[in-house]
Amino acid sequence: MTAKSSPIRLAVDAVVFGYSKQDGVSVLLIQRKYAPFKNAWAIPGGFVLPGESLEQAVHRELKEETGITVSYLEQLYTFGEPDRDPRQHVVSVAYFCLVKSSQYQELKASTDAANAQWFPIDELPELAFDHAQILTTAIDRVRLKVRYEPIGFELLDRKFSFADLEHLYISLLGRDIDRRNFSRKMLALDILQETDEFAKAEGKGRPSRIYKFNKASYLKQRKQGINFEI
């Protein structure tokens, strides 16, 4: 190391996707309190502290900057371009998280975040650093993964109608789907458990059956090589 060089810092960033029946898919962003990019919107995150694991750092930063906790957390990619942070060379390990945004309407920004807010996935502001690239990478990953693994059920209530499930996939994929084909595939997978409950119909329509995700059936079938392709 030369006298003019500085050590590389390690950071984490967390792309938090939220979902609600009313708002569809949204992304949780924070408004930076300090330079660089003061007042700009950014993905929650920060430096990893000594003795802290990457996932511990993600949970701490989310709690400090937004007030939320997450249960579904998956590593996305490592971003390490030398000029991605104007202060020094910072390598960031990015994660994506899935939460029910309706459970986190009262956000609590703190530390170096002046504000925290949900943004619709198709109405995002300009972002600080290389966070637009990180977010694009996360969106592409989720839209790919939701087609071959049932991660979308993390965003639904424990009980849901088939219309709720369809709306979730349309929102996540960012496009319409062939509903008849989608229904046939989902029911054939044997991962939806019928309940004795029905959702109240809108207008003169028939009440729709309420389902639950049968995780035990899915895990059993995955060991047998289930084809979840949607």
User: Per residue in 203-224, pLDDT tens?
Assistant: 566 788 999 999 898 888 777 7
pTM above 0.85, yes or no: yes
3-class SS of residue 222: helix
Comma-separated ranges of CATH 3.90.79.10 domains in the chain: 9-145
Q: Can you give the three-state secondary structure of 111-159, one letter per residue?
A: CCEEEEEEEECCCCCCECCCHHHHHHHHHHHHHHHCCCCCHHHHHCCCE
CATH number for the region 158-223 comes to 1.10.10.10
Q: Which residue has the tokens 């949607």?
A: 230
Question: How confident is the prediction for the chain on average, in pLDDT?
Answer: 91
CA torsion angle for 213, 118, 105, 175 (degrees, to 10)? -30
Cα 15 to Cα 97, 99, 180, distances in angstroms: 6, 11, 32
Comma-separated ranges of CATH 1.10.10.10 domains in the chain: 158-223
The pLDDT value recorded for residue 109 is 94
Q: Which residue has the tokens 């965003």?
A: 155
d(CA 74, CA 130): 20
Say if residue 2's pLDDT is above 50: no
d(CA 116, CA 61): 12
CATH assignment of 9-145, among 3.90.79.10, 1.10.10.10, 3.90.320.10, 3.40.50.2000: 3.90.79.10
> For residue range 64-97, what is the model confidence (pLDDT) as tens digits?
999 999 999 999 999 999 999 999 999 999 999 9
Say if residue 1's pLDDT is above 60: no
